Amino acid sequence: MKIVDLIGRDMIVPALAGTDKRSILEELAAHVARQHPRIDRATLTRVLVDREALASTAIGEGVAIPHGKLGAVTEIVACLGRARAGVDFDAMDKQATYLFFVLVAPESSTGAHLKALARISRVFKDGSFRKRLLEAPDADGMFAVIAEEDAKY
């Protein structure tokens, strides 16, 4: 599974304005809903917030993978956001989170959803990859970094 198969340039938000967990999730949900009219912004926000209430999706090293399932989608929808200043996202390593990779899967999804989570967490463990994403000037630059990384596999 390639990350570029999950995400397009239009699903990258290079400058999130949110300063806390809730505002980041609201901003990402709003972006996803604008790009996918079948997805209700408020419903997606609730799904992401409810998932965070179970346990933080911040995997450490500046990365979080907020995720959830919706009946409104028939395939995995993904969105990548970047908060240059970093946000307290209750990461296990107690460090700020800068990169947020949202995954929204169909309610009936299990295998594809888990494979996507595993792939993203594996790729985002690479420090040089994260650094290049953080340094990319815009969404096009961030997408190019992702495509370059995907080409290695």
pLDDT of residue 108: 86
pTM: predicted TM-score of the whole model, two decimal places: 0.95
Question: Rounded to whole angstroms, how far apart are CA atoms 115 and 125?
Answer: 16
- Can you give the pLDDT at residue 7? 94
pLDDT at residue 23 in the model: 98
Q: Nearest-5° angle of CA 52, CA 8, CA 75?
A: 60
In angstroms, how far is CA 131 from the centroid of its own chain?
A: 16
Catalytic residue among 31, 36, 67, 113: 67
Let me know if domain 3-150 sits in CATH 3.40.930.10: yes
Look at residue 55 and give its three-state secondary structure. coil
Q: Any catalytic annotation for residue 113?
A: no
Give me the pLDDT at residue 153, please: 72
Helix 111-124 to helix 127-135 angle (10° resolution) is 80
Q: Where are the domains of the chain?
A: 3-150
Mean pLDDT, consecutive 10-residue stretches, the chain (153 aa), reads: 91 97 98 96 97 95 96 94 97 97 91 87 94 97 95 81
